[in-house]
Structure 1
Amino acid sequence: MLPKFSVIIPVKPGGEVRALAGIAQATYPPELFEVLVAHGCQPSVQRNTAAREARGDILYFLDDDSSVAPDFLERAAGHYREQNVTAVGGPSLTPATDSTMQRAIGIAFSSAVGGGGVRNRYRKFGAARYSSDSELILCNLSFRREIFLEHEGLDERLYPNEENELMDRLQQEGHLLVHDPDLAVTRSQRRTYRAYVKQMYGYGRGRGEQTLIAGTLKPITLAPSLFLIYALLVPFLGVPLLTLPLLAYLAIVVLASLQGSLVGKDAALFPWLLLVYPTLHLVYGAGVIRGLIRPRYRGGKQTHWDVEVRRVKTFSTVELS
């Protein structure tokens, strides 16, 4: 028997929900899925609030600009036939119609030099497999509703990295997570360089805060921060030998940028990649330091803004608005 899905989309007040256009083309039986749009200013709270109001067996979280394939619910449902599977998701791909800068960001995210161990969140690679939070991303991620609620959903102190914290807990208890490269959505990257810098800083800060909440430190988490400190100090140390790692890094960035422009078949990508790669590493590293030293959730009692959940499609209707 096919499961019922509750598709949940958080959006800022007055924001456009472009994801609805793709969902309207879904080939899953319309009586077996509903769509809830949660309006508010705190995505973790919005998702949790909508999850409590959802009526489906599976919660499928999308971002307001996630563009899905028509068969996305069928693909996800197939993986949930295995009872130990608790979460299923796929990558977020950069559309070819994005600007040169946006495509450069997408190339960096999906590369070994930029995305590293999490690059499969941003590319289609391999076959469906058991995985971890390193390959799963919340703009395209589903959970069994019963287990999601049993674990009190997403930690509302975190944004971003709230899904990573939850998936870590689930895996520690023996639950299985599935990454399906064919269960992909497309989403545009940040439109401006300033927005990209803010994104990288936020990602790093969220990772630092998640590390404190989890109480365990993965060595790779500190790598960008240590490199940032090294890069800031090395000009003042007056030891030429110590500049060799920095020169090696710059050479790697140049080679990765050249490769990325060749893969993207656009020479205009090269200068953007020369900027995007160092920004990714250094700004992310700064964010991790900030998250570890001054986590937002320790700043006092958290303020919860109002969340309004609207059902734009019920199990008995096919209209979306």
Structure 2
Amino acid sequence: MVKPKISIIIPVAPNSKFEKTLEAIRNVNYEKDKIEIFIIKGENPSKQRNKGIKLAKGNIILFLDNDSIIEKDYIKKILKRHEDYDVVGGPAITLATDSFLQKSFGFVLGSYLATQKMQSKFRKVGKARKATEKELILCNLSIKKETLDKNGLFNEKLYPNEENELLNRFQKNNVKILYDPEIVIFRSQRKNIKGFMKQIYTYGLSRMEHFKLKPNFTKPIFFMPSLFVLYLISLIFFKPPWYFIPLILYIALDLVFSIEISIRERKLWAILTTPLLFLILHISYGYGIFRGIFKRRKSNNNEVQIKKITWK
């Protein structure tokens, strides 16, 4: 039986490091002559990925980020799932070597209070199942080449959230999509609160850009953080006692989910870090949504640099 060829596409920013990702790929239990890697430097990840797709010769296109660390049996796992599914993905797990603050970022991102169904992107949740864009993350995603050829590539006007638009399009075309909690990659979270705030702000900004490109009023949950920001601002001007009830409920939920995290992860110190991080996340995302309404990000059409790596 002829084994499928894998094309791994890794978009990187100028001066970014990717050696640890390459080392992890080199150590996989799969024939090296069946793997090709495209390291694509640029400033528009969607465009970079599309360039790689067009050059790829593999049956399966695997998308990783420059900090994605895969396990030795990773490729065999995705190939087994691709026998029945066109798109396969799983969570991006925080590295065990990350600091307690970085782990706290991961705990919050993997909580239902912060990300709802999208918690599946950041920790193992449930069993393998048919999935939507809410559960898959692009730094751990593989797609059959024929599926991309048939249904189109990434929208180069979007970043991040470009995989959400792509997977929504796939879903409308009855593409088979799978989330498997055992197909994991490992990566570090942002190093400090400033980086975390910028990350979440960018998610909100891009979500609004996606909405403006293809309006969809069936997912109002994405706009709840922006309403929360408005509510917090209104507290400055409007202060009857009953008006503080939503804030009290929010604080209660914040504490309940922080306790749940500390129990689930067996980290008592998480009770001290996660309550504030929930608030930071919701405000940052809500602010990003607002900025996305009025701000139009400059499109980056700079050329990309492509490096192909193969092993014998």
User: TM-score, length-normalised on structure 2?
Assistant: 0.94
Q: CA deviation at 1:95?
A: 1.8
2:21 maps to 1:24: no
2:306 equivalent in structure 1? 309
Asked whether the 8 Å contact 1:132–1:177 carries over to 2, the reply is yes
2:52 maps to 1:55: no
Q: Which of 35, 38, 41 is the equivalent residue of 2:37?
A: 35
Q: CA deviation at 1:145?
A: 1.6
SS at the partner of 1:114? Answer: helix
Asked whether the 8 Å contact 1:201–1:284 carries over to 2, the reply is yes
Amino acid at match of 1:123: R
Q: CA deviation at 1:166?
A: 0.4
SS at the partner of 2:61? Answer: strand
Asked whether the 8 Å contact 2:158–2:210 carries over to 1, the reply is yes
Q: Which moved more, 1:218-227 or 1:287-296?
A: 287-296
Check 1:116–1:303 CA distance in 2 against 1; reply closer, same or farther (3 A cut). Answer: closer
SS at the partner of 2:235? Answer: helix
Q: CA deviation at 1:308?
A: 1.0
- Give the distance between the partners of 1:252 and 1:303, measured in 2 at CA: 41
Amino acid at match of 1:185: I
- Give the distance between the partners of 1:295 and 1:170, measured in 2 at CA: 26
2:70 equivalent in structure 1? 68
Asked whether the 8 Å contact 1:2–1:77 carries over to 2, the reply is no
2:168 maps to 1:190: no
Asked whether the 8 Å contact 1:52–1:149 carries over to 2, the reply is no
Amino acid at match of 2:250: Y
Amino acid at match of 1:265: R
User: TM-score, length-normalised on structure 1?
Assistant: 0.92
- Give the distance between the partners of 2:306 and 2:150, measured in 1 at CA: 21
Write the mapping of 1:69-108 to structure 2, written as runs, cut at 5 A.
Answer: 69-82=71-84, 85-108=85-108
- Give the distance between the partners of 1:243 and 1:121, measured in 2 at CA: 33
Check 1:27–1:285 CA distance in 2 against 1; reply closer, same or farther (3 A cut). Answer: same
Count of aligned residue pairs for this structure pair: 309
- Give the distance between the partners of 2:157 and 2:35, measured in 1 at CA: 29
Q: CA deviation at 1:211?
A: 1.2
Q: CA deviation at 1:193?
A: 0.7
2:215 equivalent in structure 1? 215
SS at the partner of 2:177? Answer: strand
RMSD: 1.5
What whole-Å deviation, never above 9, does each CA across 1:215-266 have from its counterpart, x for those lacking one?
A: 2131111111111111111331122101101111012112222332343333
Amino acid at match of 1:234: L
Write the mapping of 1:228-239 to structure 2, written as runs, cut at 5 A.
Answer: 228-239=229-240
Amino acid at match of 1:173: N
Amino acid at match of 1:310: K
Asked whether the 8 Å contact 2:43–2:300 carries over to 1, the reply is no
Q: Which moved more, 1:154-163 or 1:256-265?
A: 256-265
Q: CA deviation at 1:278?
A: 0.5
Unaligned runs of 5+ in 2: none
What whole-Å deviation, never above 9, does each CA across 1:33-72 have from its counterpart, x for those lacking one?
A: 2111111111111111111111111110000110101111
Asked whether the 8 Å contact 2:44–2:300 carries over to 1, the reply is no
- Give the distance between the partners of 1:29 and 1:242, measured in 2 at CA: 63
1:199 equivalent in structure 2? 199
Amino acid at match of 2:205: R
2:288 equivalent in structure 1? 287
Amino acid at match of 2:102: Q
2:260 equivalent in structure 1? 259
Asked whether the 8 Å contact 2:155–2:165 carries over to 1, the reply is yes
2:145 equivalent in structure 1? 145
Identity %: 34
Amino acid at match of 2:111: S
Amino acid at match of 2:171: Q
Asked whether the 8 Å contact 1:129–1:178 carries over to 2, the reply is yes
Q: CA deviation at 1:97?
A: 1.6
- Give the distance between the partners of 1:145 and 1:288, measured in 2 at CA: 33
What whole-Å deviation, never above 9, does each CA across 1:61-86 have from its counterpart, x for those lacking one?
A: 0001101011111111112212xx32
SS at the partner of 2:236? Answer: helix
What whole-Å deviation, never above 9, does each CA across 1:125-171 have from its counterpart, x for those lacking one?
A: 22221111111000000112232244431111111000000000010
Unaligned runs of 5+ in 1: none
